[in-house]
Amino acid sequence: MSTLTISVAEQFSPAPAGRFLDDGPYPGAAFRDKLLLPAIRSSDKVIVDMEGTELAGSSFLEEAFGGLVRAGFSEVVLKQKLELRSPRSSDPIRIWRYIHDEAIRSNRVHLTLYPIQYRAEVGISGSSEIVIAGNCLQ
């Protein structure tokens, strides 16, 4: 099992802020697209370490982590793949809430452990798994 650790302070910024690319130099969209998505796609487990960062705003956290759901990952898959570390107990609570809220909005709450491809729209996969809800992407 491959594990990758992302140190937000060292690999991105000690002061991440903003949602979109035009919100400043270190927004959630950039963190998600440049670090999180490649890590999640290439590793079995991704540890996101927020040690050394200032308190990140809701816009940064929602775009970075809620944006993973919009990129096609279900909440269940993210719970399997993500481990969140922070000196502040509120950070993981907030992040999981943003992931959960977006999963509800995006209808990406299902019982499969990993995203699978399926034929047509009937939810029949190439294996014995059954897709409970659609939108199973990488």
pLDDT recorded at residue 97 = 96
Tell whether the model's pLDDT for residue 31 goes beyond 60: yes
Residues near 14 by beta carbon (within 8 Å), at least 6 away in sequence: 8, 52, 53, 54
Residue among 28, 138, 6 nearest 77 (CA)? 138
Can you tell me whether residue 65 is helix, strand or coil?
helix
- pTM over the 0.85 mark: no
Q: Which one is predicted more confidently, 86 or 126?
A: 86
As a whole number, the mean pLDDT across the chain is: 84
Instruction: Determine if residue 5 is left, alpha or beta; phi over 0 gives left, psi from -120 to 50 gives alpha, anything else beta.
Output: beta
Longest Cα separation, the chain: 47
User: At 75, which amino acid appears?
Assistant: E
Average pLDDT value for residue range 13-31: 97
Separation between Cα atoms, residue 56 and residue 53, nearest integer Å: 8
Q: Which one is predicted more confidently, 131 or 8?
A: 8
Tell whether the model's pLDDT for residue 40 goes beyond 90: yes
Tell whether the model's pLDDT for residue 72 goes beyond 90: yes
Domain extent listing, the chain: 3-109
